[in-house]
Amino acid sequence: MNPRILLVIVSCVLSVLTGLVISRGGGSGPATRTRPLIGLSMDTLKEERWQKDRDLFVAEAGKLGADVEVLSANSSDTRQLADVEALITRKVDALVIIPKDAAAMAKAVNLAHQAHIPVLAYDRLITGCDLDLYITFDNVKVGELQAQFLAERLPATGKMRLLRIYGAKTDNNAKLFKQGQDHVLQPLIAAGKVEVLHEDWADDWKPENAKKIINAAITKHGPNFDAILASNDGTAGGAIQALTEEGIAGKVIVTGQDADLAACQRIVQGTQTMTIYKPLHLLSKQAAALAVRLAQHRPIIARDVSPNGQTDVPSVFLPIHSVTKDNLRDTVVKDGLVTEKDVFGR
Ligand code: BGC
């Protein structure tokens, strides 16, 4: 019997008994290796957050006695698949993947499994495969908090005229952010309190694509809108450039996500209104601990599951926070993600 099937049966029995889901990997590196080797395959290092994710992950894995080989695919599916193949050839004991394309990376997971290497999806889900484990933030909640922020700032009379920028269509998270936003917005749209004037997906999450979306909205409707629901800080930055060129930066509510340094600075300056802070130190540390356990074939307890179209993937969800000028110090600065001096200039 396929050992993976046996694991699924064990997992089912244990979940009935304890209400938990157990996931266990089966990788096996060369006998001469004394420290586990983890392969980290990243979509991109473009956004500031991913550089932090990488550094924190590698440092934590090192503390736990493991080595990490990191490859970044520069937003190319072909390159990411080749990266994973290279890591499999290196006989890594566990693979951690931040997929560019949720569906395309199923092939990478299947290849890893053929080589008996367990796979942990980091922050972004991989769909349509027998993924071992997933660690992330509550991404639907991210979208809900972004939209809730707008819902609490509706104009006293009339409707809030809104532009919406979604993320990359290929990123499962982008769909979850939209789903969360829709939960909050749809009743307000139905009640005539919010009108969406323009909406679009920003390919590859690129700020320049977000800017084009806002430029197109301005061409169509003029600068007559109250808020931009940007799904992350990168796209918020692109949107704010368009607003600056139009002379209305600071007059329009702009949301974001990631607490990038540039976004925190914009929040202090008043051109961006909020961001969602996702404590990356928690994600990267827990992910490193989980990856090391997978590499060492030790059992893992995950309390949640994420359906990925093929299976219910054992999942770990971490908390998130809505951040404005008022609580920047008590959250992002306090946790050391950015410094007081970098954000406030003193
Ligand atoms: C992440 C965001 C990030 C975006 C673009 C999403 O999957 O959850 O934190 O801003 O990708 O890289």
Please give the distance, rounded to the nearest whole angstrom, from the Cα atom of residue 278 to the centre of ligand 1: 10
Distance CA 288, CA 80 (A): 20
Out of 42, 53, 165, 173, give the residue to mutate to test ligand 1, the one with the largest number of ligand atoms within 8 Å of its CB.
173
What region does 297 belong to: left with phi over 0, alpha with psi -120 to 50, or beta? left
Q: Return the ligand 1 atom nearest residue 137 CA.
A: 8
Ligand 1 centre and the CA of 335: distance in Å? 20
pTM attached to this predicted model: 0.91
Tokens of 333: 């600065």
Domains of the chain listed by start with CATH number: 5-131+280-318 (3.40.50.2300), 139-278+322-344 (3.40.50.2300)
Q: Are the CB atoms for 51 and 45 separated by under 8 Å?
A: yes
- Determine which residue's CA is closest to atom 9 belonging to ligand 1: 258
Pairing of strands 312-318, 304-307: antiparallel
Report the alpha-carbon distance of residue 209 to residue 193 in Å, rounded.
Answer: 28
Question: How far, in Å, is the centroid of ligand 1 from the Cα of 72?
Answer: 15
Write down the pLDDT at residue 28: 59
Query: Which residues of the chain have a pLDDT value below 70?
Result: 1-29, 31
pLDDT by residue (tens digit) across 243-279? 999 999 999 999 999 999 999 999 999 999 999 999 9
Distance 232 CA to ligand 1 centre (A): 7
Contact by Cβ (8 Å): 282, 123: no
Task: Give pLDDT, residue 50.
Answer: 97
